[in-house]
Structure 1
Amino acid sequence: MSPVFSHGDLRLYLLNLLDEGPRHGYDIMQALSDRTGGTYTPSAGTVYPRLAKLEEEGLVTKTVDGRKTVYAITEAGHAEVLARAGDLQGIEASLTDSVRLIADEVRGSVREAMKSLRADLAAASREERTSATDAPTADDPRTRSREQVHRAEAAVNEFRARVRGDIRSHVARGGDLAATVIDELTQELDRISRDLIRTLRR
């Protein structure tokens, strides 16, 4: 999966978020997820050490508000944001490209899974027709057909498990799952179902 932030960009982007106003840690992580369209959801182990480093550099301060720690930018931090406005524009452009690239990768994975499923179902259908033609007795075609039904079910279940795992892993890594990707998946599954029905009715 392509990285969302290049080296050093997250530090500047955190400063930029705090330049908009004080935030507590969870709010910062949520803002990063929102700004990247859900393609990047950082962990506390990623964000807090960087905030601590910014505090050491005198660019950020923190105060405890009840159970929350609120971070705010300092004048020095604000000055760095202003001085690096051009860099921030580049980061925003890179984020847009990264989101688009990640979405393309997910769509590609779904397409490959669809191709694999179509091939498996087509092979099962061909073997079913061959078995019915070569069957020496009346009972044998039904037995072989039941075997092919089990193969088809296994192929569908394998596909379901693979796609489910890929999608869940993608989202768990902070990836965006666009509605268009699921729409495409649904359309492909409907198309496969129609093709299979037509094949079985021949």
Structure 2
Amino acid sequence: MTPAVFSHGDLRLYLLSLLAEAPQHGYGIIQALTDRTGGTYTPSAGTIYPRLAKLEEEGLVTKTVDGRTTIYAITDAGRAELAGREGDLAGIESGLADSVRLIASEVRQSVQEAMKSLRADLAAAANDERTAAKTRPSTARPMGDERGTSREQLHRADASVNAFRARVRTDLRTHVARGGVLAESVVTELENALDAAARAVTRALGSPDR
């Protein structure tokens, strides 16, 4: 969701709905908007304060200055306008909920695709190893050669795991830094997929699952 989710007049109405819950200072309003939109929209002070000033001019809110803090509160006229536009407010809240679900779905899909890629890489590597084992000469290789090959493959496996970790970590951190939602279900799904991948590696190595 982008700030465009609040079309003309929508943000004004939503500010009234927030103040109808409780009086609030400007920063608290900005934080409330961030929370209500799942972190997908954080308005600037330059967006919020002029609208609050306009609402004050219209007699829909009042402000009280306490030291360096200005508290805004809705008036009876503001509550009356809010009551008369309940349908519009319901539509705004429905749109916000849909946007949060969409962001969560996009993150979940990204994690699923990353895990699918990892499982495919592991399966391909295991298949390549089985194929190579069938085509090797039947004569035993020197122990030193086998250990050397194993060390090379271990380095390759380490590189693959580290690359996957960096990719997922970057995607998640970037998403959250941009104000996106990281749902608990997405993290749980990631944990389950990683566990499944670990079990697949264990089976490919010929060891029983732990």
Q: What RMSD in Å do the two structures reach over aligned CA positions?
A: 2.7
Which deviates further from its counterpart, 90-99 or 180-189? 90-99
Which deviates further from its counterpart, 139-148 or 121-130? 121-130
Question: Structure 2 unaligned runs (5+)?
Answer: none
Q: Answer yes or no: is the 8 Å Cα contact 1:60–1:77 preserved in 2.
A: yes
User: 1:129 deviation in Å?
Assistant: 4.2
**Alignment-mate amino acid for residue 98 of structure 1:** S
What CA distance in whole angstroms lies between the structure 1 residues aligned with 2:78 and 2:46? Answer: 17
2:155 to 150, 153, 177: 150
Residue deviations 1:121-165, cap 9 Å, x none? 223334444555548842333323222211221121111112112
- 2:203: which partner in 1? 198
Question: Structure 1 unaligned runs (5+)?
Answer: none
TM-score (norm. length: structure 2): 0.79
- 1:40: which partner in 2? 40
- 1:161: which partner in 2? 166
Q: Report matched runs for 1:101-180 at 5 Å.
A: 101-130=102-131, 134=136, 137-138=141-142, 139-180=144-185
Percent identity reads 58
User: 1:48 deviation in Å?
Assistant: 4.5
Q: Alignment partner of 1:149: what SS? A: helix
Q: Alignment partner of 1:63: what SS? A: strand
Residue deviations 1:156-194, cap 9 Å, x none? 111111211221222222222222111111111111111
Q: Alignment partner of 2:63: what SS? A: strand
- 1:53: which partner in 2? 51
- 2:30: which partner in 1? 29
What CA distance in whole angstroms lies between the structure 2 residues aligned with 1:89 and 1:39? Answer: 20
1:183 to 188, 197, 203: 188
Which deviates further from its counterpart, 74-83 or 105-114? 74-83
**Alignment-mate amino acid for residue 110 of structure 1:** V
Q: Alignment partner of 2:72: what SS? A: strand
What CA distance in whole angstroms lies between the structure 2 residues aligned with 1:131 and 1:65? Answer: 77
TM-score (norm. length: structure 1): 0.82
CA spacing shift, 1:115–1:108, aligned 2, 3 Å: same
**Alignment-mate amino acid for residue 160 of structure 2:** A
What CA distance in whole angstroms lies between the structure 2 residues aligned with 1:160 and 1:140? Answer: 30
Greater CA radius of gyration, 1 or 2?
Answer: 2
Which deviates further from its counterpart, 125-134 or 66-75? 125-134
What CA distance in whole angstroms lies between the structure 2 residues aligned with 1:10 and 1:131? Answer: 64
- 2:7: which partner in 1? 7
Q: How many pairs align?
A: 198
What CA distance in whole angstroms lies between the structure 2 residues aligned with 1:74 and 1:87? Answer: 19
What CA distance in whole angstroms lies between the structure 2 residues aligned with 1:48 and 1:81? Answer: 24
**Alignment-mate amino acid for residue 20 of structure 1:** E
Q: Alignment partner of 1:40: what SS? A: coil
Q: Answer yes or no: is the 8 Å Cα contact 2:12–2:51 preserved in 1.
A: no
Q: Report matched runs for 1:91-102 at 5 Å.
A: 91-102=92-103
